[in-house]
Amino acid sequence: MIRNLAAYHFVAIDDPQALAASIRAQAGALELRGTVLVAGEGLNLFLAGAPQAIEDFVTWLRGDARFVDLSIKCSESAHVPFARLKVKVKREIIAFRREGASPLTGRAPGVAAQTLARWIARGRDDAGRRLVLLDTRNREEVGYGSFAGALTLPIDNFTELPAALEPHRDALADATVVSFCTGGIRCEKAALWMRASGLGHVLQLDGGILGYFETVGGAGYDGRCFVFDGRVALDPELRPLVDQALDPV
């Protein structure tokens, strides 16, 4: 059995190249495959390998004081859904290119999966405000599934979200907006930017769709969640749409 790890953490990284080199060496020694992005704003990673190897890697990474609070999401598959290990240094761990969206200066309020499931069932938050779920992913991902009735945007890249959201601003003014994405990284930046740009009642779904599936299953969700590896998409029980071996390259 293969364990698949998804995690991200916003924290100041003074020397991204040095961290990338350390991660490349450790993950390689543990025979892990996947994609790791390192930037001055933090770390974003998707790795797969033997369960003990994944556990050892997480223990090693949390040994760095910057990542002691790293939150992880795990799922299982029969095969490794990556062909090789890639560790890259980027300007951002998820490109957005907007002011007012840096999680290093503060975090938008979050909502836990259990709370959101209750709000979805009611159609309102605990204060009685109308609930709007905002999908911050691109149209290809949305095609595999999303929360029922969510506001989806015709975008191909995350950087297009601000312009695509503009026509909806007035309609969102009286609502509690919960932004969501695959694992939490895009909806965290989007929620920060939306609040900074004048939308006051915006929250982010803690842990994203994968965290929601892990905690409460598929309540209020239609379809699967697209993932960026050979599994293609996961259902609410975290079962892959495709589970076949990829040859190492």
The residues carrying an active-site annotation are 181
CA distance 103 to 225: 24
Residues 6+ apart with CB under 8 A from 2: 48, 49, 50, 51, 76, 77, 78, 79, 80, 81
Q: Please report the sign of the dihedral spanned by the C-alpha atoms of residue 41, residue 47, residue 51, residue 52.
A: negative
CA distance 169 to 189: 17
Query: Helix 51-62 to helix 16-29 angle, to the nearest 10 degrees?
Result: 150
Contact 50, 3 (CB under 8 A): yes
Other beta carbons less than 10 A from residue 90's beta carbon: 15
Sort strands 233-234 and 42-49 into parallel, antiparallel or unpaired: unpaired
